[in-house]
Structure 1
Amino acid sequence: MARIAQESPGAPHILIVGGGYVGMYTALRLQKKLRRELRRGEVRVTIVDPNSYMTYQPFLPEAAAGNISPRHVVVPLRRVLPKCTVRKARVTELNHDEGWAIVQPLAGPPERISYDYLVMAAGAVPRLLPIPGLAEHGISLKTVGEAIHLRNHVLEQLEIAESTDDAELRRKALTFVFVGGGFAGVEAVAELEDMTRDATKYMRKVTPQDLRFILVEAAGRILPEVGPDMGKWTAEQLRGRGIDVKMNTLLESAVDGRIELSDGSSFQAGTLVWNAGVKAAPVVRRGGLPVDEKGRVKGTEYLTIEGLVRAFTAGDNAAIPDLTQEGMYCPPNAQHAVRQAKLLGDNIVRSLRGKTLKPYVHSNVGAVAGLGLHKGVAQTYGFKVKGWPAWFMHRTYHGAKVPTFNRKLRVVADWTLALFLKRETVSLATIEQPRADFQLAALDDVRPKERAADQAREPAA
């Protein structure tokens, strides 16, 4: 039975579902524009998210490769939103007509909370296809936890290859498959290939020539965000580094770690990274909100939810019309999400004050991608940049855009130290089973007692 949370009567309550780009930046905007009202308790803002931090996702490939500490790519919500209520929980049900949501906290029974304004900013999750073995053996790169796991897993595969003479086991461990040729997939394969190449410098049996990296893309090109020319150049650069780029190719099976591709290839792989698209978070479908054929919330140019009052949306989980391109929708990237969130916050304030809402209009300024240390590709404002200058642009842009001065300083410190210190290539895979040694020690303590008891029960000869 859901428990009704205590609420202050009279004050409009703004519920933000999701603490990612849109959720955090919307709350920051409201905190700035409504600072007096929030201080007086005349307005309340609540953010509900399974994590109490916002993840700066463009830095996840670098975090997985060890260029940035994972702690520095997340922003604690409670620290930056002191005037808002942050709840680490999941929204499991919504009824916007009646203005309530069911929230499942970390522990205890679910709670029913009422609200006056809704912001659906739950973001996106990986879009998995019904490929045999994918769910069991694949991993995505959308969370900081996945970045940490992927780094430890890849380095552990090198350790396996270094410690065995079994040729088949070595080949499997040193084969890394990445599916998806968009930003996430290309940056992930490039950064991790760079890291593993560095790691082999300290090994005796594993060499860079032993590594096998494969990028699988269903379309006929990679990195469509930077244009066909830059995408072609990127593919040539990756192939020049020994990465096998397979276009017009599909993953058909990954059962028991055996990769089967549509081009007829079949081989064992110790690592399978899936970055082939995203879909709106499940809570969107459970909320009774209007959605399109892709499962995204139907939004308007004013960042309101189509057909509903006092309901807003933006970001990856929303289909927002792109007013600069007729018939198109805004792409699901950070560039749009941050700008949408600021306008969304302003439009909520305008709604509270009875003013006219403003439409969202933004022309895409381009894109930048990192391809490992000192390597990158970019297309911004019509200019095409590649190599070291593009890498520098990538770091400059994202270093400026990562939220809070605290995080900017920590990220720049990581990059600066990397200029003078060698990259750390130590696997900490044991952190994923922290109680294993403890349990083994406990088992060792039990075994002598069991043996003694068995001996006591044995009849004398």
Structure 2
Amino acid sequence: MYTALRLQRTLAPEIKRGTAEVVVVTPDPYMTYKPFLPEAAAGSISPRHVVVPLRRVLDRCRVVVGEAHSVDHTKRTATISTLATAEEGAGTTALTYDELVLAPGSVSRTLPVPGLAEHGIGFRTVEEAIGLRNHVIEQMDIASSTRDPAIRDAALTFVFVGGGYAGVEALGELEDMARYTARYYRNITPDDMKWVLVEASDRILPEVDAAMGAYTLSALRRRGVDVRLRTRLDSCADRVATLSDGTRFPTRTLVWTAGVKPHPLLTATDLPLTDNGRLRCTAHLTVEGAPHAWGAGDAAAVPDLTAPGTDTAPNAQHALRQARVLGDNIAATLHQRPLTPYEYRCTSSVASLGLHKGVAQVRGREFKGYPAWLMHRLYHLSRVPTANRKARVLAEWTLAGLFKREIVSLGSLEHPRAEFELAAGKDHPDDPKGST
């Protein structure tokens, strides 16, 4: 989205004359600002304000809602499918191009853990974030109404696998939300709930330095979170999380945030890939040995000029900045100007651990608690695209500070036709034959 946004600005005269066209192929008609997913899951932000509608932002681009299946760069052709091709029975269609920007991002990296596919919950999309929020509140409803202690214990046990940003922030926000929600249940207290964080390495939040990671670890443990380091999830079959240290947790909630891997679309191209499956790119964001092909973001292995011999980390800080350089370099190519190498040193890291709690590392200085939480919000408010979204997010934060949290679970959003299907599937009591 940011690359297309940059291009529609730099190529505005060409687009107006009709000599250039920017086409964006995407499976969703919106861009998700993923740093806000934990707050959306906790109810601090409306899900509508975590996403940016592409047709509004990219008003001078052609947005094609569809899925790319393969790319044949030697023929400058991408094979895509859309809702229209499905209706027409064509299946797929070919889309030709002059310059290719391949930025499909990443997907969750899963392991062959028994029961994971059946019971695991991801945390990479706004749908998963809202679904997880609904699920947590529903588990509290189950625990409040059941008389079976085993079901109650499993419903109130929440296991998160992965101690990076996604896992720590999701757990911190949801634990905070559930702790607040417990006050509205007569027979549930915060001490009845078990929150478990499983991490295979010897520390959490590897994105910040060791001291801040240690502070985060102690802060979570003071809140009663059971953090298991150097521990793996061996199985979650039959809704029992079995860890490598032999511990077993009967649980109805297992959230998987144990890393990402490049999008599988990359393997359906004729472009060079690294050993870990990312696009092999240069510092100018061109794909090595493939003229007119470009890459950025999680899917691209871009040399880190600030640390020779390494690639830039697959995170939002690099992706957003790479997009701007990429857009400018494509325009420079079309105008026969020299390209600019991408170079950026990450100097800041911020993470939220729940309402008024956080950690931050800004230009070598460390902040904890409320100041770090405030920096987290201000930083991401400045980065979320469009003034419209900034204003709406700020208004929601303001209202959340003045009024009580929302504790409603809208599980029916995931199956909106369930009630109608139930009604339509039964005969009307006054019409034994069943009218249509």
- TM-score between both structures, scaled by the size of structure 2: 0.96
Matched, 1:408 2:390: yes
1:58 aligns with 2:35: yes
Q: Secondary structure at the match of 1:165?
A: coil
Alignment of 1:138-287 (within 5 A): 138-287=120-269
Please report how far the alpha carbon of residue 436 of structure 1 lies from its aligned counterpart in structure 2 after TM superposition. Answer: 2.0
Contact 2:427–2:433 (CA under 8 A) maintained in structure 1: no
Please list, as runs of the form range in 1=range in 2, the aligned pairs for 1:306-317 lying within 5 A after superposition. 306-317=288-299
Q: Does 1:76 align with 2:58?
A: no
**Residue type matched to 1:270 in 2?**
R
Following the alignment from structure 1 to structure 2, what is the Cα–Cα distance between the partners of residues 433 and 75?
Answer: 24
1:440 aligns with 2:417: no
**Residue ranges of structure 1 left out of the alignment (5+ in a row):** 1-23, 453-461
Q: How far does residue 449 in structure 1 lie from its aligned partner after superposition?
A: 6.1
Counterpart selection for 1:88 from 58, 65, 84? 65
The equivalent of 2:118 in structure 1 is 136
* 1:36-47 paired onto structure 2 within 5 Å: 36-47=13-24
- Find the counterpart in structure 2 of residue 5 from structure 1: none
Query: Is the 2:34–2:125 contact (alpha carbons within 8 Å) kept by the matching residues of 1?
Result: yes
1:154 Cα offset (Å): 0.7
Is contact 1:54-1:76 (8 Å) kept? yes
Q: Which SS does the other structure have where 1:325 is aligned?
A: coil
Q: Tell me the distance in 2 between the aligned counterparts of 1:259 and 1:381.
A: 40
Amino acid at match of 2:242: E
Note closer, same or farther for the CA distance 1:299–1:447 as it changes in structure 2 (3 Å cut).
farther
Q: Distance in 2 between matches of 1:129 and 1:147?
A: 21
Q: Percent identity?
A: 55
Aligned length: 429
**Within 2, Cα distance between the matches of 1:132 and 1:304?**
40
Q: Distance in 1 between matches of 2:429 and 2:243?
A: 48
Offset at residue 447 of structure 1 (A): 7.6
After superposition, the C-alpha distances for 1:206-259 in whole angstroms (9 at most, x for unaligned) are 110111000000000000111100001101000100110000000010112111
1:54-82 CA distances to partner (integer Å, 9 max, x unpaired)? 00000000000100001001000010111
**Deviation at 1:450?**
6.3
- How big is the shift at 1:136? 1.1
User: One-letter code of the match for 1:227?
Assistant: D
What's the CA shift string for 1:356-412, capped at 9, x where partnerless? 211111111121000000000011211111110000000000011100000000100
Of residues 322, 326, 337, the one that matches 1:355 is: 337
> How many Å apart are 1:443 and its aligned residue?
3.5
8 Å Cα contact 1:177-1:215 kept in structure 2: yes
Note if contact 1:125-1:281 (Cα within 8 Å) is conserved in structure 2. yes
Matched residue SS, 2:22? strand
Aligned-residue offset at 1:25: 0.6
| Structure 2: distance between partners of 1:273 and 1:382 | 32
**Can you list the C-alpha shifts for 1:46-103, whole angstroms capped at 9, x where unaligned?**
0001001000000000000100001001000010111100011001111101101111
Q: CA deviation at 1:148?
A: 1.1
Letter matched to residue 73 of structure 2: H
CA distance in 2, matches of 1:260, 1:451: 52
Contact 1:225-1:366 within 8 A present in 2 as well: no
State the Cα distance separating 1:448 from its structure 2 match: 7.6
The answer for the alignment partner of 1:341 in structure 2 is: 323
* Residue of structure 2 equivalent to 1:291: 273
Counterpart of 2:301 in structure 1 is: 319
1:381 alignment partner in structure 2: 363
State the distance in 1 between where 2:309 and 2:233 align: 31
Structure 2 contact 26–66 (Cα < 8 Å) conserved? yes
The residue type paired with residue 167 of structure 1 is P
Three-state SS of the structure 2 residue aligned to 1:220 is coil
- Aligned mates of 2:413, 2:50 — CA distance in 1: 19
Unaligned runs of 5+ in 2: none
User: Following the alignment from structure 2 to structure 1, what is the Cα–Cα distance between the partners of residues 104 and 236?
Assistant: 30
8 A Cα contact 2:352 2:373, kept in partner:
yes
Which residue identity lines up with residue 47 of structure 1 in the other structure?
Answer: V
Q: Distance in 2 between matches of 1:430 and 1:422?
A: 23
Name the SS of the counterpart of 1:226 in structure 2. coil
Task: Please state how far the C-alpha of 1:451 moved relative to its aligned partner.
Answer: 9.3
RMSD over equivalenced CA pairs, Å: 1.3
Give CA deviations for 1:159-209 in whole Å, capped at 9, x if unaligned: 111111110000000000000000000000000000000110101111101
Any idea what the Cα deviations from partners look like across 1:110-161, whole Å, max 9, x if unmatched?
1111101000110011011111111111111111111111111111101111
Say which SS state the counterpart of residue 338 (structure 1) adopts: helix
- TM-score, structure 1 normalization: 0.91
Q: 2:264 and 2:403 mapped to 1: Cα distance?
A: 43
Rounded to whole Å, the distance in 2 between the matches of 1:447 and 1:317 is: 57
- Equivalent of residue 49 in structure 1, options 14, 19, 26: 26
Q: Which amino acid aligns with 2:289?
A: G
Moved more, 441-450 or 40-49: 441-450
Instruction: Report what 1:105 is aligned to.
Output: 82
Residue of 122, 125, 136 corresponding to 2:107: 125
